[in-house]
Amino acid sequence: MKHSWISAFLVWPGLVMAQEDQFWPDYDLIGLSTDIGASFIVQPDQPDIGGARIGLSGAILLNQSSERPLFLEFGLSHSNGSSQDRTSQMVAADIPFVFATRVTPTGNLSLNTLFDASGASATAIVSFTDTSGDSLSITSTTFSPPDGQTSVFATSPSEEGGAFTSVVTDGTAGIATAVGAFYDDSGAAFLGTGTGGDTSIATGRRDAVDFTDATLQLSSVFAVNDTWNMAPRVGLLLQRFDRSTTLSNTIDVADGFAAEQPTPDFVMTQATDLRSDMIGLSFGMGLSRQLSQDWYMSFGADLGTMYRKTDYTSQESVLFDQSQIQRISGPGGSDTGSANLARLSMGLSHQFAQGGIISVNIYADMLTDIPYLERVDLLAPAPMISGDDVTLDLSGQTNQDLRIRYGDLRNTGIMIGFLWAY
């Protein structure tokens, strides 16, 4: 009996083998496929992310039945991508502005700026006790008569952190700017006011995702009619979804002139990492049709349900004077639950050599109840303003909370693959 070549085509996420004769060869059939393509991940309240996807899949024929062949299939794919966004805004110089981390340290910031006919003056006072109990204080003051300019920048380290002040004046231009900040391993706070010029605040966000999908399945294939083949499958499903987010605020205080000791930029960042590991069962069905001697098309549908475990960590940091940095540990947490999967795919394959297939596949995955982190603002530290005096008292309050939320996740894309069967 003549044996014709066994056709192989991709039905996402693994391989399905179909025959053109009424029998299988007298050896085990093995098919391997490598894939590369692009993916697009969408989740509510989170940035859309496009990226690359690579995959490896294979199938082994377990029996020699011509009517009910049985395959062991495996599939492994990995998607990753990132998105970035950056915006800038200007804060009027005469409006006091406050920036603080999720939790603030314990201390006091007191600023005073004044301009009149006699000239310009600025004062910054920082009083601070860090988490080790070490206390420090900085008082910086300066005055510029008409035709005069001054700038004073001071720093002081503590056992677990530090503080700095900056005061800048110009008695002719009417510039009087004062800035104070302190920080330790619990958090940081920054206060500024004055008339030196608008302050630039640049806000940035970067999201990166990694999505790993693995399957181990048993499948079979049988002819529906002379045109169509059907391939049911059932097996183990494992997935891991990781989303890392970094938020940053860069505060650039305008001194108003080329100060000898310019006020340094102050940068605050918050980084979070959330990972969900999922394991469960899936079942699905593939359909394939031979279009011509060398062309095939295929369709696939899968459903799955998984147990999910989620963990997240967070960290903040502050940077000033381009060299001094303080890292601040943030909260973490975990959660368990379930997630469901629905997957559709469609492919077009071409046989170009004995045992070789090239294919193009498009797919759409929908996962339910995939966690993400939400930042909830509890309160915003506000300074007290009395005439030319601006004061901020802090006692370790929590300004923001991190909470796990849930939303559907869509992962769509296109893959180009090469399959070799032997």
Measured on CA atoms in the order 320, 325, 329, 334, is the torsion positive or negative? positive
Quote the number of domains for the chain.
1
pLDDT of residue 146: 92
Q: Would you say residue 141 lies in a domain?
A: no
**What's the gap between Cα 107 and its chain centre?**
33
Which pLDDT tens digit goes with each residue over 211-230? 999 999 999 888 888 788 89
C-beta separation of 244 from 208 below 8 A: yes
In a domain, 120, yes or no: no
Residue spans of the chain under pLDDT 50: 1-27
Specify the 3-state DSSP secondary structure of 419. Answer: strand
- Residue 410: inside a domain, yes or no? yes
Task: Report d(CA 17, CA 99) in Å as an integer.
Answer: 61
Domain presence at residue 146:
no
Nearest residue to 123 (alpha-carbon basis) of 109, 106, 135, 136:
109
**CATH number of the structural domain spanning residue 308:** 2.40.128.100
The whole-number pLDDT of residue 93 equals: 67
Give domain status of residue 154, yes or no.
no
Q: Tell me 398's DSSP state.
A: B
| pLDDT for the residue numbered 91 | 75
Contacts of 407 (CB under 8 A, 6+ apart): 43, 44, 45, 46, 369, 370, 372
What is the predicted pLDDT for the residue at 197? 67
Q: Is residue 2 part of a domain?
A: no
So what's the pLDDT on residue 387?
A: 86
Cα 319 to chain centroid, rounded: 21
Structural domain range at position 298: 7-86+204-421
pLDDT of residue 63: 82
Q: String of b and e for 45-84 (b: at least 16 CB within 10 Å)?
A: ebbebebebebebbbbbeeeeeeebebbbbbbbbbbbebe
Burial degree of 184 (CB within 10 A; 0-12, 13-18, 19+): buried
> Has residue 104 been placed in a domain?
no
The answer to the question of residue 19 being in a domain is yes
Residue whose token pair is 């070799």: 420
Residues 6+ apart with CB under 8 A from 54: 34, 35, 36, 37, 77, 78
